[in-house]
Chain A
Amino acid sequence: CVQESQKDEL
Protein backbone atom coordinates (compact mmCIF):
# COMPACT_ATOMS: atom_id res chain seq x y z
CA CYS A 1 0.00 0.00 0.00
CA VAL A 2 1.46 3.33 -1.11
CA GLN A 3 0.35 5.30 1.92
CA GLU A 4 1.62 2.86 4.50
CA SER A 5 5.03 1.89 3.14
CA GLN A 6 6.74 5.08 4.29
CA LYS A 7 5.29 4.82 7.80
CA ASP A 8 7.38 1.73 8.48
CA GLU A 9 10.47 3.97 8.57
CA LEU A 10 11.58 5.87 11.63
Chain B
Amino acid sequence: NVEPRSVPVFAWHSLVPFLETSQTK
Protein backbone atom coordinates (compact mmCIF):
# COMPACT_ATOMS: atom_id res chain seq x y z
CA ASN B 1 0.00 0.00 0.00
CA VAL B 2 1.17 3.48 -0.82
CA GLU B 3 0.40 6.16 1.73
CA PRO B 4 -0.86 9.39 0.15
CA ARG B 5 1.72 12.15 0.56
CA SER B 6 0.47 15.23 2.30
CA VAL B 7 1.01 18.46 0.41
CA PRO B 8 2.20 21.37 2.53
CA VAL B 9 -0.18 24.29 2.71
CA PHE B 10 1.25 27.71 3.53
CA ALA B 11 -0.56 30.67 5.07
CA TRP B 12 -1.06 33.67 2.78
CA HIS B 13 0.62 36.08 5.19
CA SER B 14 3.89 34.16 4.98
CA LEU B 15 4.38 35.52 1.47
CA VAL B 16 4.48 39.22 2.21
CA PRO B 17 7.03 40.96 4.41
CA PHE B 18 6.26 42.59 7.71
CA LEU B 19 7.82 46.02 7.33
CA GLU B 20 7.74 47.55 10.76
CA THR B 21 8.86 51.06 11.41
CA SER B 22 11.18 49.77 14.13
CA GLN B 23 13.42 48.62 11.25
CA THR B 24 13.87 52.20 10.12
CA LYS B 25 17.48 53.11 9.47
Q: Does A associate with B in a complex?
A: no
